[in-house]
A and B are shown apart, each in its own frame.
Chain A
Amino acid sequence: MRVDDSLVIERRAVISGAGQSDIGRRLYRDPLELTLDACLVAIADAGLTTADIDGVATYPGPMDVPPGFSGAGVVDVQDALRLELGWWSGGIESPGQLGSVINACLAVAAGLATHVLCFRSVWEGSAQGDKGRAGVMGGGGGGYRASGFMEWTMPFAAPSAAIWIAMMAERHFHEYGTTREQMAQIALNARKNAGVNPNAIYRDPMTMEDYLNVRMISSPLCLYDCDVPCDGATAVIVSHADTVADLRKPGIQVEAVGTALRGRPSWDQFDDLTTMANRDAGAQLWTRTDLKPSDVQLAEMYDGFSFITMTWLEAMGFCGKGESGPFIEGGERIARDGVLPLNTHGGQLSAGRLHGYGFLHEACVQLWGEAGERQVPGDPEVGVAAAGGGPLAGALLLTRRR
């Protein structure tokens, strides 16, 4: 059922600026400094100053464990930039990483703030050092006892999202005949796009043979199906649509958002484990707009593991349920000159695990026509940014204002 337009208040928000810090595998820089770099670039990009910023939103807020997962919280940034805030919010319980941006849209619509600085910063590359993710889990020191949901995963040797997503992928392969060669296109497409993104981490060409021969992590996921921990920060400014005349460049209209979570938020009890919350968030988004999936000219969608992007393609209605394998087969449809250019910056698989915000940043840059060598041809006006996997999912439909 179509939601009445008067209720779609996210449409009173625009994205007015975007910025990133240096991005690298391991920068060994103060994560707050990286965060501020991104924030200041985004504020200037919008044609604003710190005095104009009266709201801040972030994901996940300050966290010590796992190390590197959070580079700064709201109050760190509020203090460092001496911001005077009418509204702020940070936290990990939201519809994915972009839930924080959606919160900001609702806050400006409610008149609690006019220009909200939204950021996400990570330093997982440096924090993990050379020890890999084991070093991260052991980072707390001392013992560890699994409790809560983990009481039903850790003792059974299923401690990580890599394993849970691998099992979802295997189920999808079984139900729909999906193949590794099809799934490979997510990774190959990302690497191809990273090749023309100077800020991407892995830019060397990758072939199908490389993909099929690299070591398995958790079948059917191989090394190239897993994203790359890195250091870096991303920021965007969400502004009230009434301010567009004051902005340096055309605001990007937030046309509609999706935030739903209807099934059980569980990696084993969810009703259909070939998908998860993105199914609900995607369906909800299309009840809030007259635009259709076929109107979308580019999609920047979460690839913490390549299979997650396939579930987003289905969740957003870019292909039918179970049809993401044939949809991406050969890679033509999702290439930069295809019907649905996908993860045009290289995704988290090749451009680095900026954790959700990288997709929104890229969607904005593309809609502003500022993507340089990797610019999607045809002057695109409609894009999707979507982030999250498993029980986390949030999506934004964006249009360039004329």
Chain B
Amino acid sequence: MTAMRFDLPTPDLETEPFWDAAKEERLLIKHCNACGKYHFYPRPFCPYCWSDDVEWFEASGRATLYTWSVVHRNDLPPFPEWLPYVAAIAELEEGPRMMTNVVQCEFDQLEIGMALEAVYYPTSEDVTIVQFRPRPASS
């Protein structure tokens, strides 16, 4: 029996494409053809205009840091092994925000508004999550 862990998602028909794409190092969000807005997390209806004319869109992976927290206490496996780590909300270039982590960044370099780019981290054989790291000015 494997150790209990709390970080594995339950993909369903609606969310499976996101998780499949993440394994291929692509970030999928939803785009509404009726109003033109993007949204996350994925919904079968646009949360802005309620149109069901929504489709997957491959985001650029470019984002800015909306806010963050250095987590020093999290009892739920496997996160104790991660401590301390950076929980964050990234604001994607396309508009939506997502909860994520910032990696490859010293804590004292974290700054709201800093440029980020997506990186992909496999947390299990089946699951890859989207994280972000500082984005060099040139890209």
Contact = CB atoms under 8 A, between A and B. Distances in A.
Interface in A172-221: 174, 215-221
B89 A157 contact: no
Nearest to B75: A134
A142 B4 CA distance: 7
Nearest to A160: B74
B79 A157 contact: yes
Interface in B108-125: 112, 123
B27 to A, nearest CB: 13
B24 interface: no
Contacts of B98: 152, 156, 268
A152 B41 contact: yes
Residue among B12, B68, B129 with the highest chain A CB neighbour number at 10 A = B68
Interface stretch (A143-151, A282-290, A338-346): A143-151
B81 to A, nearest CB: 11
B68 A159 contact: no
A154 B76 CA distance: 10
Question: Interface size class for chain A?
Answer: 35 or more
Contacts of A166: 69, 71, 87
B32 interface: no
B72 A155 contact: no
A147 B10 contact: yes
Contacts of A162: 73
A16 B89 CA distance: 45
- Highest count of chain B CB atoms <10 Å: which of A153, A220, A264: A153
A379 to B, nearest CB: 43
A138 interface: yes
Interface in A216-243: 216-221
B123 A163 contact: no
Given A133-B75, A145-B10, A156-B101, A163 B69 contact: yes
Interface of A: 132-135, 137-138, 142-147, 149, 151-160, 162-163, 166-168, 170-171, 174, 215-221, 264, 267-269, 273
Interface of B: 4-12, 15, 40-41, 47, 66-76, 79, 82, 85, 87-89, 96-101, 112, 123, 127, 129-131
6 contacts: A147-B12, A151-B11, A155-B8, A155-B9, A158-B87, A269-B97
Which 7 residue pairs of A and B lie closest in terms of their CB atoms, listed nearest first?
A134-B75, A166-B69, A171-B67, A147-B10, A145-B10, A219-B70, A174-B112
